């Protein structure tokens, strides 16, 4: 029996070689998942909680199917580890650190998926990664992004409704997102903006384009159509619901099953996209044509080299979390005042706090009007991420309702405050929420995030806070309480008690 050299000199392309890179890839993905566990957990929670992102559970199975569907296109391509790809992780680390300091979870999640792409590139090599690029890039749909588009989509839907009703000759008065016709009033809420249709259509459009087309131009055109069609289709859906209310003589009757109408209409739109795209299919044409790539006779890299490359990507990815971990050690406890003084004519009764989230509560009674105040104080060096997450939790009853709406409270002097009033009718709920940074009320946005990012680095004399005010009312059937009446009660309280703001600013000072 002849002796065999210790170093494996077989060329890549056989099963043993794929087994050799499978372990490093699996180890690298597992370590990235553990390193960025907060991003992973936040993504999965969003998939489960929001109907706009339920399809994300299918992204990994779809990616595996697309890779299997392209197995013939990978014939003759050898995995060639590319350690130089680790350098791509350095700018990604900077972007992740910036997103973390700004409190932008979607940005952090996008970077995590980008790190997984770098891992694949470093382990597989440029040629093989490029052949698998379509399915691998589909992994970016794991990130629940797009919420920032909601106001823009509401604006587009409102414009389409306005022009559509003019064409149909239906009299309407439109103020913001409120549409009034003689038969009743409609409101283009966030749930009606069409985000869920747009995200689902885009995910389907990319899958369809990767499966049915080989030409980059045809893929791009179909993906563009999958973005534009649902936007305009959602406008037609809204026009149809308002028109139905006009014909039936009741806005409420037309809007009762508007969610069901929406999904039926969306299904028809998807079928229309499929029908339009079928005549241009190229799914039976190989991406690589009839030519066979030249064989690669270079010896296979050892398992140690491939594993070192994969671990190198993880080490580079860990730089950002290591820096934030060091900054977290400088966090000081937040201010947790026991009461907030509302005014001399109000009695204050502290209530039990939520120990798991350190939510402080109190009930105030002013001239027969009772209000529940709740607030959470964060360490002065906190970033915007935890603050915004707590804000969403504290008003989750409103923002998860189908008929959710909101507006900024105006104290009546021509200015708007930082109190965001949110309402929902089913279940009945009205709340005012505000964010306090640097001892002042601020509106969520890039300026607030930048200020908190700088405070996280250089410190602050004030603890960031989230504060909510909720009217104490009986929402049971037959009580006569309406969203309009509850909103008027809340607005009246904020208007007649201007001392609330300076009191919150005072208790947010770090002692």
C-alpha closest to that of 376 among 395, 354, 399 = 354
For residue 293, the tally of other CB atoms under 10 A from its CB is 12
Distances from the Cα of 30 to the Cα of 27, 33, 100, 121, 134, angstroms: 5, 5, 21, 16, 22
pLDDT-based confidence at residue 481 (cuts at 50, 70, 90): confident
Least confident of 174-188, 333-347, 464-478: 333-347
Give the range with max mean pLDDT: 177-186, 203-212, 490-499.
Answer: 203-212
C-alpha closest to that of 60 among 113, 106, 111, 107 = 113
pLDDT value, residue 316: 95
| Mean predicted confidence (pLDDT) in 349-370 | 75
Bridging pattern class, strands 428-437 and 465-471: antiparallel
Contacts of 448 (CB under 8 A, 6+ apart): 384, 435, 437, 442
Q: Is residue 330's pLDDT more than 70? A: no
Of 395 and 332, the structure prediction assigns the larger pLDDT to 395
**Cβ–Cβ < 8 Å for 409, 489:** no
pLDDT digits (tens, 9 = 90+) for 39-84: 999 999 989 888 778 889 999 999 999 988 888 877 777 788 899 9
Percent above pLDDT 90 for the chain: 25
Q: Which residues pair with 179 in a beta bridge?
A: 174, 186
Q: What is the 3-state secondary structure (H, E, C) of 19-84?
A: HHHHHHHHHHHHHHHHHCHHHHHHHHHHHHHCHHHHHHHHHHHHHHHHHHHCHHHHCCCCCCCCHH
pLDDT value, residue 435: 93
For residue 475, the tally of other CB atoms under 10 A from its CB is 14
User: What are the tokens at 333?
Assistant: 């406890």
pTM above 0.85, yes or no: no
Omega before 427 within 30 of 0, i.e. cis: yes
Q: Is residue 501's pLDDT more than 60? A: yes
Q: What is the DSSP letter of 333?
A: P
| Mean predicted confidence (pLDDT) in 184-190 | 77
Q: How far is CA 120 from the centre of its chain?
A: 25
Task: Tell me phi and psi for residue 47, to 5 degrees.
Answer: -55, -40
Of 334 and 414, the structure prediction assigns the larger pLDDT to 414
User: What are the tokens at 307?
Assistant: 């594993």
Q: Is residue 270's pLDDT more than 70? A: yes
pLDDT value, residue 121: 94
Give the range with max mean pLDDT: 66-70, 184-188, 319-323, 367-371.
Answer: 319-323
pLDDT value, residue 478: 63
pLDDT value, residue 143: 94
Largest CA distance in the chain: 100
pLDDT-based confidence at residue 505 (cuts at 50, 70, 90): confident
pLDDT value, residue 337: 59
Q: How far is CA 134 from the centre of its chain?
A: 23
> What distance in Å separates the CA atoms of residue 3 and residue 7, rounded to the nearest whole number?
12
> What distance in Å separates the CA atoms of residue 490 and residue 409, rounded to the nearest whole number?
10
Q: Is 178 helix (H, G, I), strand (E, B) or coil?
A: strand
pLDDT value, residue 333: 57
**Cβ–Cβ < 8 Å for 455, 381:** yes
Q: Is residue 440's pLDDT more than 80? A: yes
Task: Tell me phi and psi for residue 316, to 5 degrees.
Answer: -65, -40
| Mean predicted confidence (pLDDT) in 342-367 | 74
> What distance in Å separates the CA atoms of residue 372 and residue 290, rounded to the nearest whole number?
72
pLDDT value, residue 214: 85
Least confident of 217-231, 333-347, 438-452: 333-347
pLDDT value, residue 10: 44
């Amino acid at each position: 029996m002849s002796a065999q050299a210790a170093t494996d000199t077989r060329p890549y392309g056989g099963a043993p070689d794929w087994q050799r890179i499978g372990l490093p890839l699996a180890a690298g993905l597992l370590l990235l998942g553990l390193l960025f566990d907060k991003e992973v957990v936040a993504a999965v929670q969003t998939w489960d909680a929001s109907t706009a992102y339920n399809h994300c559970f299918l992204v990994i199975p779809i990616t595996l199917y697309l890779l299997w569907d392209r197995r013939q296109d990978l014939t003759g391509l050898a995995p060639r580890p590319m350690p130089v790809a680790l350098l791509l992780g350095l700018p990604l680390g900077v972007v992740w650190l910036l997103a973390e300091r700004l409190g932008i979870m979607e940005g952090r999640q996008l970077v995590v998926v980008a790190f997984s792409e770098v891992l694949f590139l470093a382990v597989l090599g440029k040629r093989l990664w490029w052949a698998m690029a379509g399915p691998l890039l589909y992994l970016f749909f794991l990130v629940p992004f797009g919420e920032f588009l909601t106001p823009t989509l509401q604006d587009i839907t409102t414009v389409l409704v306005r022009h559509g009703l003019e064409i149909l000759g239906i009299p309407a008065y439109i103020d913001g997102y409120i549409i009034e016709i003689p038969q009743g009033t409609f409101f283009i809420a966030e749930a009606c903006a069409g985000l869920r249709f747009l995200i689902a259509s885009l995910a389907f459009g990319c899958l369809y384009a990767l499966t049915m087309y080989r030409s980059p131009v045809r893929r791009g055109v179909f993906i563009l159509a999958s973005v534009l069609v649902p936007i305009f289709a959602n406008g037609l859906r809204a026009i149809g619901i308002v028109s139905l209310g006009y014909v039936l003589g009741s806005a409420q009757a037309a809007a009762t099953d508007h969610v069901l109408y929406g999904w039926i209409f969306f299904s028809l739109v998807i079928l229309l996209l499929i029908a339009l795209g079928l005549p241009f299919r190229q799914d039976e044409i190989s991406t690589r044509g009839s030519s066979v790539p030249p064989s690669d006779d270079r010896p296979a890299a050892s398992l140690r080299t491939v594993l070192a490359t994969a671990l190198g990507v993880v080490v580079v990815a860990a730089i950002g979390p290591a820096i934030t971990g060091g900054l977290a050690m400088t966090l000081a406890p937040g201010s947790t005042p026991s009461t907030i003084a509302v005014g001399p004519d109000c009695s204050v009764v502290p209530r039990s706090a939520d120990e798991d989230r350190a939510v402080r509560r109190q009930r105030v009674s002013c001239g027969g009007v009772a209000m529940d105040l709740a607030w959470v104080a964060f360490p002065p060096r906190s970033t915007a991420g935890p603050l915004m997450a707590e804000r969403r939790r504290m008003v989750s009853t409103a923002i998860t309702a189908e008929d959710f709406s909101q507006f900024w409270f105006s104290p009546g002097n021509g200015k708007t405050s930082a109190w965001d009033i949110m309402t929902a009718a089913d279940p009945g709920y009205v709340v005012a929420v505000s964010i306090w940074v640097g001892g002042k009320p601020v509106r969520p946005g890039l300026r607030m995030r930048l200020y908190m990012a700088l405070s996280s680095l250089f410190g602050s004399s004030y603890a960031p806070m989230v504060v909510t005010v909720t009217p104490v009312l009986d929402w049971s059937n037959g009580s006569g309480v309406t969203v309009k009446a509850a909103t008027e009660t809340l607005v009246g309280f904020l208007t007649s008690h201007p001392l609330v703001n300076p009191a919150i600013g005072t208790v947010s000072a770090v002692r």
